[in-house]
Amino acid sequence: MHETTEAPDLAPCPVADLLATAVRQYGDRPAMDFLGRRWTYAALGRMVQRATRGLQDLGVGPGVRVGLCLPNTPYYVVLYYAILQAGGTVVNFNPLYVERELTHQITDSGTKIMAVLDLEAVYRKVANVAAAAGLERIIVCRMTAALTPVKAGLFYAFRRHDRAAIATDSRHLAFARLMANRKPADPVAIDPVSAVAVLQYTGGTTGVPKGAMLTHANLTANCRQVRAHWSGAMPGQERVLAVLPFFHVFAMTGVLNYGGEIGAEIVILPRFDLKQVLAVIEARQITIFHAVPTIYGAINAEAAKRSVSLGSIAFSVSGGAPLPTDVRVRFLELTGCRLVEGYGLTEASPVVACNPPDGEVRGGSVGIPLVGTTIEIRDPDDPARLLPAGERGEVCVRGPQVMAGYWQRPADTAAVMVDGALRTGDIGYLDADGYLFLVDRIKDVILCGGYNVYPRVLEDALYQHPAVLEATVIGVADAYRGQAPKAFVVLRPGHTVTGEELRQFLTGYVSKIELPKSVEVRESLPKTMIGKLSKKELVAEEAARSAA
């Protein structure tokens, strides 16, 4: 077990207080930059106040769930804080969801109001399911209204076909109408410990989408834990690049909430484009950059071809998926920028541990617990039994960032708690100095002839080959062993190697039991919205192939 001392600044408070403090302290400082259009903290504060009043006029108050089905835009930032200030609960939606997924999450959460851009690809899906799913209002946000006049003109000229024809019934409300008020917002008393700020949907350890109830206290504590972990931040002077989507918990805490906590300028990009990201980092002198391993891998590949200037970055964290050691080392070599790996999960708001930004980074470790966080390693077969340092078991977490539970799922909540600690579903161990090492997900462990085979061990070994850019391993049906590992890889540009050659390469790194049944070389691998390698599509593909 490893525990750190709780800091005094983790006292519960409403999330909107983060912004209110930034407005008071840094009112004339830039708060947002969206594709060249900028707002100060004072201007952002005024917009949030008007949006809060508009939402209250729609009936938003304590217990009312409001959906944000938005990419990274100023609309997300304004509505996020306004919903929380009104006492409502934010329900995050991925704009890439299909109608079936939208319907499930709207009905499961009881979302009554949804904000969406006026782009056909997203708006049409929401409009199609609104009546059946029980949506009472759709707040429509005009993309062009968030752009500079020049960019708005270009949008009209070249992308006007992307704009949706918006219905004019009473269910629809333009964002501009929501903001057309001058009355002050009504003050709302919020108990940060009990009030649910965000319903963040996750598959958790079972794969069934369910809403993690993240309270105001959870989110503000985690934000301040991150701040304490990197004490080098200069309040009111940092620039944070927001390329990971705000609707994902990593960016919501590590970019949006944290950026407001330190009065940083948040430079917002609506999607990941490698050339744009590199250009913005250099032009705007970004100082804080958080991303997922695939983005760092893409930067490495580009930096190998040309000079990439990332010298302005002072704090860079990789999360959301395991960071291959090769990617971390090459990132430092190619860019001169130090990269540290962190670890978290939706149910912990999300950050649990991180390597020290200015201290020792241990290869293969996701770092040390954040302040106020306790990490326990428990026997997966007997969760009541704590394991000593060095032994592998289930990673369990205690701390002010741990969720209140799953929305309307008491049985699922009870299943992931043991003696008050959150069961993460991850297998790992703590070394003698409290550094956490992850081995794999419990559900991803491949049961191979009575032995446990951990895909991450194989993936880490594959990354040792100079030709491998991306690698992932799943379990497939095997008549003799029950299950066997199968690897999928993408090669670096200009490299050629066969799957069998890679399989032979692995014999120097893993045992015969762990050796993959085969290694398949592909042009690309499936990824999630934030760029994490996704296994579920490969598992489904292999299951279909086996059935056929």
Q: From first to last of the 548 residues of the chain, give the pLDDT tens digit.
A: 655 544 547 899 999 999 999 999 999 999 999 999 999 999 999 999 999 999 999 999 999 999 999 999 999 999 999 999 999 999 999 998 889 889 999 999 999 999 999 999 999 999 999 999 999 999 999 999 999 999 999 987 888 788 899 999 999 999 999 999 989 999 999 999 999 999 999 864 445 689 999 999 999 999 999 999 998 999 999 999 999 999 999 999 999 999 999 999 999 999 999 999 999 999 999 999 999 888 999 999 999 899 999 999 999 999 987 888 888 999 999 888 889 999 999 999 999 999 999 889 998 899 999 999 999 999 998 999 999 999 999 999 999 999 999 999 999 999 999 999 999 999 999 999 999 999 888 888 887 876 778 888 899 899 999 999 999 999 998 877 788 999 999 999 999 999 999 999 999 888 888 899 999 999 999 998 788 899 989 999 998 888 87
Nearest to 89 by CA among 18, 14, 20, 174: 14
Provide the b/e sequence for 335-366 (b: ≥16 CB within 10 Å): bebbbbbbbbbbbbbbbbbbbebeeebbebbb
Q: Are 253 and 222 in contact (CB under 8 A)?
A: yes
Which run of H or of E encompasses 328?
helix 325-335
Residue the block writes with tokens 């130090």: 338
Superfamily of chain region 10-216: ANL, N-terminal domain (3.40.50.12780)
Cα atoms found within 13 Å of the Cα of residue 83, Cβ hemisphere only? 29
Nearest to 475 by CA among 425, 547, 538: 538
CA distance 160 to 184: 36
Domain boundaries, the chain: 10-216, 445-547
CA distance 24 to 14: 16
Amino acid, single-letter form, for residue 359: G
Q: Are 451 and 482 in contact (CB under 8 A)?
A: no
Q: For CA atoms 242, 244, 249, 250, give the dihedral sign.
A: negative
β partners of residue 163: 119
β partners of residue 67: 91, 114
Q: Span 445-547: which CATH code?
A: 3.30.300.30
- 115 Cβ partners below 8 Å, 6+ apart? 66, 67, 68, 69, 70, 75, 79, 138, 139, 141, 175
Per-residue confidence (pLDDT) for residue 3, from 0 to 100: 54
From residue 431, alpha-carbon distances to 197, 364, 385, 393, 460 in Å are 35, 12, 18, 13, 19
From residue 180, alpha-carbon distances to 49, 52, 90, 173, 526 in Å are 11, 11, 22, 11, 43
Q: Are 45 and 20 in contact (CB under 8 A)?
A: yes
CA distance 422 to 396: 5
Q: Are 172 and 166 in contact (CB under 8 A)?
A: yes
CA distance 282 to 253: 24
CA distance 398 to 122: 38
Per-residue confidence (pLDDT) for residue 2, from 0 to 100: 57
- 184 Cβ partners below 8 Å, 6+ apart? 49, 53
Per-residue confidence (pLDDT) for residue 479, from 0 to 100: 77
For the sheet containing 405-406, what is the strand order? 172-174, 137-141, 113-117, 65-69, 89-92, 196-202, 210-215, 405-406
Q: For CA atoms 38, 42, 47, 48, give the dihedral sign.
A: positive
Per-residue confidence (pLDDT) for residue 205, from 0 to 100: 42
Q: Please give the distance of CA 473 from its chain centroid, rounded to a whole number.
A: 22
Per-residue confidence (pLDDT) for residue 524, from 0 to 100: 95
Nearest to 322 by CA among 508, 131, 454, 410: 454
Per-residue confidence (pLDDT) for residue 296, from 0 to 100: 93
Per-residue confidence (pLDDT) for residue 6, from 0 to 100: 44
